[in-house]
Chains A and B, each alone.
Chain A
């Protein structure tokens, strides 16, 4: 009984964490899908979002839920600046150039954050109570993180499907030359997609702090970069929606496998959860190389 309770509790936490993972990966997939650029400096943008939540709360007492929209705006602005300053010049450059450039941007942001805010691990306490789910107890802040990430992902989906601009982005993804002949300003769509990708990533940084409100520091992004890549590949690298679902799956596997591994005598479950998560990734890729929602192979 205790076993099932723990398993259920872990799966619930895994789902919440997974939704945050999912949203934090959507930006990465969107940028790759539209611009065919792999943003290796992905994690530091999550860090910027986390610091946004922290400073808004620490200086003005603004709750993190409000900070999500602020972070989105900061991310959009940052995205446009980086696009016009760096990325636009690299659109036709070899892959190595864009990899190096995004990597450098990541380091630049980290060092900038350290310069201004110092290396401290910061955190905040937003006490909004908790709910007893029977099998486990969960603070409302984490439930808000789950709901917010689902809402943001849904809004993005609607924007893609229902608006003209969204349709233009889809057209560029399908065939950029064809889109150009139809009068779509491809350069502008690139800029917009990059900015939205960064905006989503920065906003997800706020959600990360809703899940774990401590350990906010300039180098916190690394862990998320690695996971984001795995999740992006799992979801079919170019698909933001795939990434969102894959995030859920990754969270569930990561947390759920802990309880199952604990059944094996003499095994340290935590040392194996990442092994299991990555093994499942390998298996999925062997069976379906385009990722779970990657569509048919091209």
Chain B
């Protein structure tokens, strides 16, 4: 008995040491750069005089720095830091009626888990007193946190939650910076329609999750409007290890184009197993996965010709000039300035993915809305957001006043061509011609590239 007790004690000790090791490793992530002095966020009155405006405004966030969205979470963090540096140092701070207010940022690692998001948001709101929050990455996590933010009446900006359903719950304080999910795959269908009027059969295969279901409901509706025939419309469970049964069924249906995906791992798996089964199509568009360089690194030439929708890509043409043409304001760094700021935090070898850009745009949207509202009061800022229409390097920003849904921003379609990711649609934003039909798997195995 005694021996057992000693054994148990030792075990707990060992586990303690191991966890401590892990905790120490994560610590820098959990305690953000500026700490002790940041807490006193003043709740401003509706119409503040400059003397009543505090020196700092706190923006809080939960970020997925570990768990299954750790990659996207890390990108978001770098983007946010770059945007805050621009606002605080280049712009001089948020201009509230003449007084420059600096942004303070506090974040916690939500481990990509819904329960953690909820408890961390409570902590940010009640103990850190943050009134402006950034939602976590992914629709599922964003949706999990939304009721908490809305309950406390603090602003909750989605920069990685695209599902339409988030904005159909009647929340007042939930607003969005990126395009909604239902518009993700529609430009690809437009592109196919324009390039190949004879393409008829469309297959939709996607993850059974909040985000992808919203994307493909939108895609299905649009495909039918354009006169396509949807021959397969099937889902697969999250984290699949083998998709061959589903893909053999798709192969038997002989679709002209295939649209699919969900998150990163399953998107990679889809393409890998399409190649195994030689499931050829004239065009393939996969959600999320093709956006990251790791997609091409892992798949090599199999990735050639694969398209994907993007909220943003390096090379898109949003600039102060294009904003001027549209007659709207431009706010924030230019694309080149953003890239330079991003590399200061991420390292010179890293390039921002759209996750970084949309998170940065969310910070810029907060800053712009506060400036326009001339206030740090949550309700005043929220009301002003309804009237805002401006552009950042990420694209246009305008929300639907009813729901908080983003309606200004537009998606782009990119394609892997000769190892490079090119923007191919819409023509106004494109820096390359779309390659269609894409090479077959046999041709790709023989070394043929999509250019």
Q: Which residues of A contact B (CB under 8 A)?
A: 2, 5-6, 9-10, 13, 17, 86, 89-90, 92-94, 96-98, 100-101, 104-105, 107-108, 111, 114-115, 119-125, 127, 130, 136-139, 142, 211-217, 219-220, 222-224, 227, 254-255, 258-259, 262, 268-271, 273-274
Q: Are B19 and A104 in contact (CB under 8 A)?
A: yes
Given that A2-B252, A108-B21, A258-B245 are contacting pairs, would A97 and B7 also be in contact in the complex, using a CB cutoff of 8 Å? yes
B235: A residues at CB distance < 8 A: 268, 270-271
- Mark the stretch among B135-143, B271-279, B368-376 that contacts chain A: B271-279
Q: Which of A115, A124, A271 contacts B237 (CB 8 A)?
A: A271
Residues on A with beta carbons closer than 8 Å to the beta carbon of B234: 268-270
The reply to whether A13 and B245 form a contact with Cβ atoms under 8 Å apart is yes
Chain B residue contacts of A104, Cβ below 8 A: 14-15, 18-19
Contacting residues of chain B (236-266) with chain A, CB-CB under 8 angstroms = 236-237, 239-242, 244-246, 248-249, 252, 264-265
Docked-complex contact A105 and B18, CB < 8 angstroms:
yes
In the complex, what's the smallest C-beta–C-beta distance from A73 to chain B, in angstroms?
A: 25
Decide if B272 touches A136 in the complex (CB within 8 Å): no
Query: Residues of A contacting B22 with CB < 8 Å?
Result: 107-108, 111
CB of A136 to closest CB in B, whole Å:
6
Inter-subunit contact A214/B272 (CB<8 Å): yes
Q: Which of A6, A111, A214 gathers the greatest number of chain B CB atoms within 10 Å?
A: A214
Give me 21 A-to-B residue pairs in the complex whose CB atoms sit less than 8 angstroms apart, sorted by A's number.
A9-B248, A13-B242, A17-B241, A90-B11, A93-B11, A97-B8, A98-B11, A108-B21, A121-B298, A122-B294, A125-B299, A125-B302, A137-B278, A138-B276, A213-B298, A214-B268, A254-B242, A255-B242, A259-B249, A270-B208, A270-B235
Interface size of B by CB at 8 A reads 54
Q: How far is the CA of A128 from the CA of B272 in the complex (A)?
A: 14
Residues B7 and A111 in contact, CB atoms below 8 Å apart: no
B248–A10 CB distance below 8 A: yes
A97 to B268, Cβ gap below 8 A? no
Q: In the bound complex, do residue A139 and residue B246 qualify as a contact, i.e. CB atoms below 8 Å apart?
A: no
> A122-B297, A255-B242 are known contacts. Are A127 and B445 too (CB-CB below 8 A)?
yes
Q: Please give me the residue from chain B that is nearest to A259 by CB atom.
A: B245
Q: Count A/B pairs, Cβ under 8 Å.
A: 158
Main secondary structure of the interface of A (DSSP, over half): helix
B246 near A100: Cβ-Cβ < 8 Å? no
Q: Is the CB of B239 within 8 A of A137?
A: no
Are A121 and B18 closer than 8 Å at their CB atoms? Answer: no
Binds A, one of B38-46, B62-70, B390-398, B428-436: B62-70
Verify if B134 is at the interface (C-beta below 8 Å from A): no
Query: Are A223 and B272 in contact (CB-based, < 8 A)?
Result: no
Instruction: Assess whether B248 is in contact with A89, with CB atoms less than 8 Å apart.
Output: no
- B residues less than 8 Å from A274 (CB atoms): 237
How many Å from the CB of B121 to the closest CB on chain A?
23
A264 to B: closest C-beta gap in Å? 13
Answer whether A123 and B237 are a contact pair too, CB < 8 Å, given A92-B4, A93-B4, A215-B269.
no
